[in-house]
Amino acid sequence: MNKEKIPQIFIAHASEDKPLVRELYGKLLEAGYNPWLDEEDLLPGQNWREEIPKALKNSDLFIACLSSTSISKRGYIQREFKMAMEVWAELPPGEIYIIHLKLDDCKIPELKQSEYGLNLKNLQWLDYWKPNSFDKLVKAIQRQFGSQETNDTENNNATDSPSETDNQKSTNLERPEGQVPLGSPFYLERPPIESDCYQTILQPGALIRVKAPRQMGKSSLMARILSHAKQADYQTAYLDFQLIDDDCLKNLDQFLLWFCANISDELELPAEMEKYWKGILGSKKNCTNYFQKYLLSKREVPLVLGLDEVDQVFRYPEIATGFLGLLRAWHEKGKNDPVWQKLRLVIVHSQEVYIPLDINQSPFNVGFGVELPEFTPSQVEDLAKRHGLHCSVEEKEGLIYMCGGHPYLIRVALYEIARERMSWQEFLSIAPTEEGIYQDHLRRHLLNLEQDESLLIAYKQVVATEHPVQIGSSDGFKLKSMGLVKFQGNKVMPLCELYRRYFRNRLGVS
């Protein structure tokens, strides 16, 4: 291969992965390479059935983007992979031509081309969903083609003007709302939490508890645990307790019927509770029989239940006590019973558990517990770079001073600044006001505080001073569950300066 040339890089992908692929395309352009992407390089009127194979054969490198969604599509990659094999077969041994990027924690499919003696699984892949993955990709390209001078206009006509580069970056950003999608470059791992969860969920009868305030990344972590379980060929079912109807919360029997019906629906099985629901046995025994005899006993692979926003049932003591005790009982069965060892539980909640549960009937003092921490300064810096921002020490410190390490607050700020909707100085100036980018987030907290007089009085004490203060333990734990404070010893202080300034003003604290 010619080490002087700018390599053309063909990007094979599925349409569902376009956002991540566009981001990859933009990064390769910035790095001085010549990526080929159908939506960018096909011209109006061209026959794509002819142009795509032509572009592939003229490319110096073939990148296959794989994800949990794309590998399940019939025919995806296979056709282009076969063409890539034909190109690769003509190259000298040892040359890098095919690189497959895993956009999420997917399983590499069996793609063989016997006539060329190659199986996709035999090639080292790159976990593109992990930190610093693009740097590793560049190293692989440099090994084959040498480094590119990204500032050399002779070799990098794609970045002729700053505005073009900025526009390209902005199209690759991801609006921070809800769960961070699988494969997103904007998901930051918090070691060793992810790896510990991935190992735990593979254990018989596993139970994982994830607790953190809203918008700290609980659902995003759960999605990755379930994805990891799928890669191990486990079956998974996800249930969001925010979707439960009020009618299903009238009593424990009605709730457990709803629970069984929804799990069956997630598994694409007919709901057959009438076969196992015998009134005289009681609702907990009926639910247990339904799981044991219908959902678990005939199952060859483990079943992982992802139970999100479980604290929605905490407001109903009778239901919460019965249901949570049932989960604990199932977990205990899994210690000895092979049938129940197939059941793995991931329980996600925000609030502290104030229901008077017997210590032997609570699922919150067994299994593997996770409390999601704030981002560290180095993680904040990493996330800024993923947004195309190279912030100064002062800018990074200002962001952390205002937002702490709160994942959602940090992401919103970086997104808005990267989109050039505001400068760093403008952000710091208006963030703790109704004019700022957090107005909805702050108002929600304000409304919640105003509904609890005791919490309102306690939080006024917290924001009134620059130092940690001692408040009632119950109020302290509730405020921490809401994400409004953090503990320093037995005292509390606002989670970040944003909260101190906003609530000091809105609550009329001098």
Q: pLDDT band for position 320 (50/70/90)? A: very high
Question: Which ranges of 31-93 would DSSP assign to H, the alpha helix?
Answer: 38-41, 48-57, 78-89
* SS3 call for 168: helix
**What's the rounded mean pLDDT across residues 462-469?**
96
**What's the rounded mean pLDDT across residues 480-507?**
96
Q: What is the pLDDT of residues 378-431, one digit of tens each?
A: 999 999 999 999 999 999 999 999 999 999 999 999 999 999 999 999 999 999
Beta-carbon contacts of residue 182 (< 8 Å; ≥ 6 apart)? 67, 68, 103, 104, 105, 129, 223, 224, 227
Strands 8-12 and 61-66, bridge-based pairing: parallel
Given a cut of 50, whether residue 213 has pLDDT beyond it is yes
What would the two tokens of residue 473 be?
């333990």
* SS3 call for 359: helix
- CATH no. of 193-371: 3.40.50.300
Q: Mean pLDDT across the chain, nearest whole number?
A: 87
Q: pLDDT band for position 354 (50/70/90)? A: low
Backbone dihedral angles phi then psi of residue 50, each to the nearest 5 degrees: -90, -40
> For position 472, what pLDDT does the model report?
95
* Lowest-pLDDT choice from 166-170, 214-218, 242-246, 504-508: 166-170
Comparison of pLDDT for 356 and 223, the residue scoring more: 223
* Lowest-pLDDT choice from 102-106, 203-207, 335-339, 372-376: 102-106
| Percent of the chain whose pLDDT exceeds 70 | 88
**Side chain identity at 75, as an amino acid letter?**
G
Do the domains at 8-171 and 193-371 have one common CATH topology? yes
* Lowest-pLDDT choice from 123-137, 194-208, 317-331, 478-492: 123-137
Q: Specify whether domain 8-171 bears CATH 3.90.1150.150.
A: no
* Lowest-pLDDT choice from 39-48, 219-228, 244-253: 39-48
171, containing H or E segment: helix 162-171
Comparison of pLDDT for 134 and 383, the residue scoring more: 383
Residues 497, 500, 506, CA angle at the centre, nearest 5°?
Answer: 135
Q: Is 45 exposed, middle or buried (0-12, 13-18, 19+ CB in 10 A)?
A: exposed
Given a cut of 60, whether residue 115 has pLDDT beyond it is no
> For position 325, what pLDDT does the model report?
96
Closest by Cα among 76, 75, 121, 131 to 100? 121
Residues 290, 292, 296, CA angle at the centre, nearest 5°?
Answer: 110
Beta-carbon contacts of residue 135 (< 8 Å; ≥ 6 apart)? none
Residues 17, 56, 85, CA angle at the centre, nearest 5°?
Answer: 95
**Which residues, listed in sequence order, are joined to residue 207 by a DSSP beta bridge?**
345
Query: Do 142 and 112 meet the contact criterion of CB atoms below 8 Å apart?
Result: no
Given a cut of 60, whether residue 479 has pLDDT beyond it is yes
Determine the Cα–Cα distance for residues 62 and 441; give it in Å rounded to an integer.
Answer: 44
Q: pLDDT band for position 95 (50/70/90)? A: confident
361, containing H or E segment: none
What would the two tokens of residue 115 be?
């006539």
Determine the Cα–Cα distance for residues 218 and 311; give it in Å rounded to an integer.
Answer: 13
Q: Is 337 exposed, middle or buried (0-12, 13-18, 19+ CB in 10 A)?
A: middle
Q: What is the pLDDT of residues 372-392, one digit of tens each?
A: 999 999 999 999 999 999 999
Given a cut of 70, whether residue 229 has pLDDT beyond it is yes
Q: What is the pLDDT of residues 56-89, one digit of tens each?
A: 888 889 998 888 777 766 554 567 777 887 777 6
Closest by Cα among 27, 28, 26 to 9? 28
Given a cut of 70, whether residue 151 has pLDDT beyond it is no
In three-state form (DSSP H/G/I as H, E/B as E, the rest C), the secondary structure along 423-467 is CHHHHHHHCCCCCCCCHHHHHHHHHHHHCCHHHHHHHHHHHCCCC
Comparison of pLDDT for 160 and 216, the residue scoring more: 216
Q: What is the pLDDT of residues 286-308, one digit of tens each?
A: 999 999 999 999 899 999 999 99
pTM of the model: 0.69
Given a cut of 90, whether residue 30 has pLDDT beyond it is no
Given a cut of 80, whether residue 274 has pLDDT beyond it is yes
Q: pLDDT band for position 442 (50/70/90)? A: very high
**Which residues, listed in sequence order, are joined to residue 238 by a DSSP beta bridge?**
306
Beta-carbon contacts of residue 116 (< 8 Å; ≥ 6 apart)? 85, 86, 88, 89
Beta-carbon contacts of residue 210 (< 8 Å; ≥ 6 apart)? 218, 221, 222, 346, 347, 348, 349, 370, 372
- Give, in order, the Cα–Cα distances in Å from 303 to each of 200, 201, 259, 300, 346: 14, 10, 15, 9, 11
> For position 254, what pLDDT does the model report?
96
Given a cut of 70, whether residue 149 has pLDDT beyond it is no
Determine the Cα–Cα distance for residues 126 and 382; give it in Å rounded to an integer.
Answer: 19
Comparison of pLDDT for 112 and 211, the residue scoring more: 211
Query: Do 499 and 404 meet the contact criterion of CB atoms below 8 Å apart?
Result: no
> For position 13, what pLDDT does the model report?
87
Comparison of pLDDT for 142 and 466, the residue scoring more: 466
Query: Do 356 and 314 meet the contact criterion of CB atoms below 8 Å apart?
Result: no
Domain spans in the chain, listed from the N-terminal domain onward:
8-171, 193-371, 373-431, 434-510
Centroid of chain to Cα 223: 6
Given a cut of 50, whether residue 453 has pLDDT beyond it is yes
> In sequence order, what DSSP letters do the residues of 199-220 get, joined into one string?
HHTTSTT-EEEEE--TTSSHHH
